[in-house]
Chain A
Amino acid sequence: MKPVVWLIHGAIGASLSVLPTAVYAHSPVTGLGTFYGFLLHPVSVPSHALLVIGTALMLGQQGREIARRGLPVFGCGLITALGLSRLAPAQGVAEHVLLVMALVIASLVVLDRRIPSLLALALAAVAGLAIGHDSSPVAGSDTGSLFALAGVTLGALYLTLVIAGLSSGLAKTWQRVGIRIAASWVAAACLLVLSLTIASSSKHVASAPETSSEVIWRC
């Protein structure tokens, strides 16, 4: 059987295994209903939004062919990570990691260099895995879980599709400069949020000592 078919089977299996779960690590937007709350989840969590936008810009900048292949790869990563989080519940990805990933990907876009297609696809897969893992289920009812899962998946995929789709094939110089400017904003936002979180965690460490591993991690 072709690897792509295995991949589809794996993604479907992973998505089904996530059904009997619910509530997610980050709070959804309240007052919108479960589905819409989680649909906006990839936008309402800054580190997720920056990583999704950065990845989508990178896929679009690398050309239509990479974007076509990158989107399902990103989706498979996302759904697989949601499934794996269900099988082996674990703490989500640290915000620093997500921000560093977004920073690296956005910097690649700013440099406007052709990168190997395998690397681009690998970055899309890792981004999908990271976002899926950080949206890991905690507890709740089956139906709530189904709507939450559908919301997160659809929200992240839609945002990636729109940005990657609309930015792919932009060949004029000013259009490519526009993509780089957008990526530089993403990179700048990542740096800003990273500095703020590191600064606030340093203060926190100074005032209340934690376990050595946490202190090392945060430094």
Chain B
Amino acid sequence: MTVHWIASLRLLFMSVLVLASTLSRADELRPAYLDMRETKAAEWLVRWKVPAAGDLRLGLYVRLPDSCKTVSEPVSGIEANAYFEHWRISCPDGLKGQTIAIDGLRNSVTDVLVRIEYLGGATQVARLGPGSPAFAVAGVQTRFEVAATYFFLGIDHILTSLDHLLFVFALMLLISDFWKLAKTITAFTLAHSITLAASSLGYISLPQQPVEATIALSIAFLASELVKMQVGQPRLSERFPWIVAFAFGLLHGFGFAGALKDIGLPQTDVSLALLMFNVGVEAGQLIFVGAILIGFMAAGRLYGVPGTPLRKIAGYLIGIASMVWLTTRLGSF
């Protein structure tokens, strides 16, 4: 019987490796960016960035309103795993109420972040996906609209950031005590809020790629703590989880700031947008933690509290995922 279970586990690990190899093709999952800036009345600078691997780029193309005419021919190139092009357009009828679409988006799994900046600094931000490949330009947004946009961008960002979620999940596996977990999650939240704000407002700056690679390492650290768990011999991250969460939270905050930098902050209502993005991140994190806790509670009723062997298996799986991310991110340096 034991031999059969070992055979099953081997097969499971092989399957995980196959899945991991698929996950490592992150190019198709990175978002594309469309940045449009009004440089003078009715004239716009368009910047378009699409994920690429080598000479191959994703087949996504911007479709601007028919009333807009190209003023300068596009200048294009490939840089840092991304295809970019920029050109100038003239839209005599304005952009308000017009539709901007991304051709090819419906058949992809990529999202497109769109940022429109008007003369005077007002901005509109939107996130397009396969289910909504076009949007109508609303014109200058009110404070409430800015708040709502950045709140949902925050939720969207945390729920689609598998690495941050896996870090939180590993913390939840490490800590059995509810109040200890609450303190730990609070420490993580506090820490990433500090660096998110400091980095977004320009007080601290770190290069994004090493930060992303170190975030993968932070998950690997927690995975190794899970694997080395032993009953009666609490490890550092079990004894002082809030210190570990706070220290790594500072790092994860730089990751959130990188995402926010890509999205861009409006020139007016900066603090409101930053606050709402952070609140959105926290709300998304709470949704995730709540769902996992309810799942744990239900599973605990049926199968009992997960024992050390199960946590170790989870540690190995989380470790595999973090190493795949680390390799991929180091490769993009």
Contacts and interface: CB of A to CB of B under 8 A. Distances in A.
A80 interface: no
Interface string A119-155: 0000000000000000000001111101100000000
A165 B294 CA distance: 10
Interface residues of A, number: 40
B299 A161 contact: yes
B107 A141 contact: yes
B65 interface: no
Nearest to A1: B4
Nearest to B162: A35
B231 interface: no
A77 to B, nearest CB: 18
A182 B298 CA distance: 18
Nearest to B14: A12
A9 B11 contact: yes
A212 interface: no
A178 interface: no
Given A33-B111, A33-B129, A71-B302, A146 B295 contact: no
A143 B29 CA distance: 9
A6 B300 CA distance: 26
A161 B111 contact: no
Contacts of A144: 108-109, 130
A62 B43 CA distance: 69
A30 interface: yes
B96 interface: no
Contact of B131 (A12, A37, A68, A147): A37
B1 interface: yes
Interface string B105-133: 00111010000000000000001011110
Most B C-beta atoms less than 10 A away, residue of A9, A33, A35, A142:
A33
Nearest to A34: B109
Interface string A96-114: 0000000000000000000
A5 B131 contact: no
B22 A5 contact: no
Main secondary structure of the interface of B (DSSP, over half): helix
Most A C-beta atoms less than 10 A away, residue of B127, B131, B298, B303:
B298
A30 B107 contact: no
Contact of B297 (A8, A30, A64, A166): A166
A161 B298 contact: yes
Interface in B281-309: 291, 294-295, 297-303
B22 A162 contact: no
Contacts of A9: 8, 11
Contacts of A169: 301
B160 interface: yes
Contacts of A164: 298, 302
A19 interface: yes
A168 interface: yes
A143 B25 contact: yes
B15 interface: yes
A176 B69 CA distance: 68
Interface in A60-107: 64, 67-68, 71
A30 B22 contact: no
A12 B301 contact: no
Contacts of B156: 33
A54 interface: no
Contacts of B5: 5
A48 B264 CA distance: 40
Nearest to A12: B15
Nearest to B294: A162
Given A31-B131, A33-B111, A34-B130, A19 B298 contact: no
A66 to B, nearest CB: 10
A177 B260 CA distance: 50
A31 B116 CA distance: 19
A15 interface: yes
B18 interface: yes
Contact of B11 (A2, A12, A32, A68): A12
B92 to A, nearest CB: 32
Contacts of A30: 129-132
A35 to B, nearest CB: 8
A140 to B, nearest CB: 7
Contacts of A15: 15
Interface of B: 1, 4-5, 7-8, 11-12, 15, 18-19, 22-23, 25, 28-29, 107-109, 111, 127, 129-132, 156, 159-160, 291, 294-295, 297-303
Given A8-B12, A33-B160, A146-B19, 18 more contacts: A2-B1, A5-B5, A5-B8, A12-B15, A30-B132, A33-B129, A33-B159, A34-B109, A68-B302, A143-B22, A144-B108, A146-B23, A161-B299, A162-B294, A165-B298, A165-B300, A166-B301, A169-B301
13 contacts: A5-B7, A12-B11, A15-B15, A32-B131, A64-B302, A143-B22, A144-B108, A144-B109, A158-B291, A158-B295, A162-B294, A165-B297, A165-B302
A-B pairs with lowest CB-CB distance, top 6:
A165-B298, A30-B131, A144-B109, A5-B4, A162-B298, A165-B301
